[in-house]
Amino acid sequence: MNPFFENYNTPFQVPPFNKINEQHFLETFQEGMKVQNEEIRGITENKDIPTFENTIETLERSGELLSKVSMVFFNVKEANTNDKMDAIAEEIAPLISQHNDAINLNPALFEKVKSVYNHKEDLDLIPEQNRLLEETYRNFVRGGANLEPEKKEELKTINEKLALLELQFDKNLLAETNAFKLILENKDDLAGLPENVVETAAELAISEGQEGKWIFTLQKPSWLPFVTYSEKRVLREKIYKAMFNRCNNDNDFDNKEIINRFINLRLQKAKILGFNNWSEFVLDDCMAQKPENVYDLLQKVWNPAIKKAKEELLALQNMAEKEGADFKLESWDWWYYAEKVRKEKYNLDEEQLRPYLELNNVVNGAFTVANKLFGLQFSKLKNMPVYHSECEVFKVEDSNEELVGILYLDYFPRASKKGGAWMTNFREQYVSKEDENIRPVVSLTCNFSKPVGDKPALLSFEEVETFFHEFGHGLHGLLSQCKYESISGTNVSRDFVELPSQILEHWAAEPEVLKMFALHYNTGETIPIELISKMKKAAKFNQGFATSEFIAAAVLDMDFHTISEEKDYDINEFEKLVLNKIGLIDEIIPRYRSTYFAHAFSWGYSSGYYSYTWAEVLDADAFNAFKETGDIFNQDVAKSFRQNILERGNTDEPMQLYLNFRGKQPGIEPLLKNRGLLK
């Protein structure tokens, strides 16, 4: 029995992961596309006058089975893939692309959609229905519905190729990340490394049959502590270069040619759809609207950031020379000497914080914040179906014990999981035809420091902020109260979706919140006020570096996608020219170099990496709405944020939603001030 072909017989109707096998995926994809085609045919062959109900709403509710299997398959593939899953993805990706194009480019269907759209002023639609109508029509136009037949065929071919390129880019990146191992046999090579980092490397070596050695990988919880603390400069260089040269080694996993194909295919698609470049096409559907608006924001942040970074570099070089170094600093030295300067300047070592940042306490701290802001209750569920044994599952209820949703948490790196951290859904929120409010099943997937020896998982503060960030996305999905799935929850523009995630990060660093969850894993002692004070004083440390590496990546993304000429580009040379143009110093590399820049090429953030900065303008201003009251848990502000932002999805223009909450346009000053870039 294929579990997708019936209602899930599971608690809260979560996917029955333990009953699903690879064959079920293929069968359901095929059946799901067949069923949706029949549903579309029902719309186009309907002889009645097109109405919102028989066209727009019916189209919105079509494809339920296909959506059901897609959300399970692609989410599991990202978090726990294998060769069979990869093969299915490669087989099914072009078929889904063809299927979606057959809908978007169906002339009979578009005529009915257009008929309803052209008469929208005569319809008595509620605002959310009007938004769905506008978005549906807009998506058809952006999908090529107005094109001539031969251009539609070109577009179909391009879409199929792009779908396969995304899979190949990610597959190469995962393989290249897993391929590198720094294996140390001499204990002297561990000089400077914290005890937990050494123990983790030893445990990994044992698990791979190399007891007595230490293995370091390109997973961030491994390489980042290594370059931060290792006293062996040649080894720091080795692992750092391996990290930033991923998929750039002229081997089977090289992504340079794939990037070239991305650039040219995206440019072709943009021009077919009437735009000068890919960025114009992407941003036409975002808050930023135009590339020049993005560049303007990035430049305003870049100028003070790179100035600050140069000041930081001078301090780092002085520290190195004070310790007897007779070399000019390189990029693999920055983390190491920044940590030394931080310790000297603020008497703060990041490793001092870890004992107080035990994973379960951090999670409970985020839950407490959500409870104090929105009245949410989190209950851990046992014996739930999971796609991997490390997953935890929680029931989320409102203050009146009404179900809000189900939350999956998946914390640690593994070879089958892509890097980074992300939020997704196994089911999105919507209201069914029977008027039932279907509650979401949300998943947060991370790559955090693992437990080691007899110690639990102890996080860095950066990992704490990452969890709060993804948890903010999770709340956006969980608290959605929309009628239609396609505009519910996090289905908003890229430069608005990061507002709910980034605003949650502010609470993580508040002393009042730290005292709630920062408890010593061994003694239970609350983090000392002296340590919190040091954290606060050091909060803006190294922000020139952090901001510069980020903005450099955002500009690189934009420059790739504002290309207007098709040709074969030397990817490394192009990247070099971009970074020289903006004036990035040699000692800093972009947050992501081109060949592993998944946001720009396979994660749906092409011409969108800037969105974190765009949304930071919003989140800095939005958090001020709480701070201005003198209470970071102010119930009136929290209620307004929930009702105007978190519950509303894409039911109105993003800036209108923000204005409904804040009552005024945000400025860039709070962002610069928060980062210590504004004097």
Are 445 and 79 contacting, i.e. CB atoms less than 8 angstroms apart?
Answer: yes
Residues linked to residue 513 through DSSP beta bridges, in sequence order:
none
Where do we find the tokens 């923000």? Answer: 658
Tokens found for residue 438: 């279907």
Same structural domain, 481 and 374: yes
| Domain limits for position 548 | 256-348+544-609
Same domain for 617 and 643, yes or no, is: yes
- pLDDT (0 to 100) of residue 647: 98
Is residue 537 left, alpha or beta, with left meaning phi > 0 and alpha meaning psi from -120 to 50?
A: alpha
Helices (H), 511-653: 511-517, 529-537, 543-561, 571-582, 598-601, 611-627, 635-641
Look at residue 275 and tell me if it is in a domain.
yes
Which residue, 193, 551, 511, is CA-closest to 339? 193
Taking 70 as the pLDDT cut, the residues of the chain under it are none
In this prediction, residue 350 carries a pLDDT of 84
DSSP-derived secondary structure for 336-366: HHHHHHHHHHH---HHHHGGGBBHHHHHHHH
How many other C-beta atoms lie within 10 A of the C-beta of residue 90?
A: 14
The CB density around residue 465, as the number of other CB atoms within 10 Å, is 17
Among 574, 593, 609, the domain-final residue is 609
**Are the beta carbons of 614 and 495 closer than 8 angstroms?**
yes
What sign for the dihedral angle of Cα 44, 45, 46, 48?
positive
Output the six-digit token pair for 460: 């860095």
Among 224, 244, 264, the domain boundary falls at 244
Q: Are 505 and 469 in contact (CB under 8 A)?
A: yes
Q: Are residues 114 and 126 in the same domain?
A: yes
Partners of 358 in the β-ladder: 458
Same domain for 495 and 431? Answer: yes
Q: Cα torsion at 167, 169, 174, 177 (round to 10°)? A: 180
CATH number of the domain bearing residue 453: 1.10.1370.40
Q: Is the whole-model pTM more than 0.85?
A: yes
Note whether residue 57 is domain-resident: yes
Q: Are residues 490 and 474 in the same domain?
A: yes
Quote the number of domains for the chain.
4
Residue 219 and residue 321 in one domain: no
- 198 lies in the same domain as 74: no
Q: What angle do CA 334, 340, 345 make, to 5 degrees?
A: 120
Q: Answer yes or no: is 169 within a domain.
A: no
Task: Report the candidate in 256, 298, 169, 274 with the shortest Cα–Cα distance to residue 607.
Answer: 298
Active site residues: 470
CATH code of the domain containing 30:
1.20.1050.40
Amino acid at 198: V
* Angle 39-41-42 from CA coordinates, rounded to 5°: 65
| pLDDT attached to residue 678 | 87
Residue 152 belongs to a domain: no
3-state SS record for 179-221 = HCCEEECCHHHHCCCCHHHHHHHHHHHHHCCCCCCEEECCCHH
Which of 311, 327, 359 is closest to 455 using CA atoms?
Answer: 359
Residue 78 in domain:
yes
Same-domain check for residues 490 and 569: no
167 part of a folded domain? no
**288 and 385 together in one domain:** no
With respect to residue 157, please indicate whether it lies within any of the assigned structural domains: no
CATH of the domain at 302: 1.10.1370.10
Q: Are residues 507 and 632 in the same domain?
A: yes
Same domain, 452 and 599: no
Classify residue 666 by its DSSP letter: -
Q: Are 661 and 640 in contact (CB under 8 A)?
A: yes
| Residue 618 is assigned to a structural domain of this protein | yes
Q: Are residues 276 and 240 in the same domain?
A: no
Which pLDDT score, from 0 to 100, does residue 464 have? 98
CB 388 within 8 A of CB 79: yes
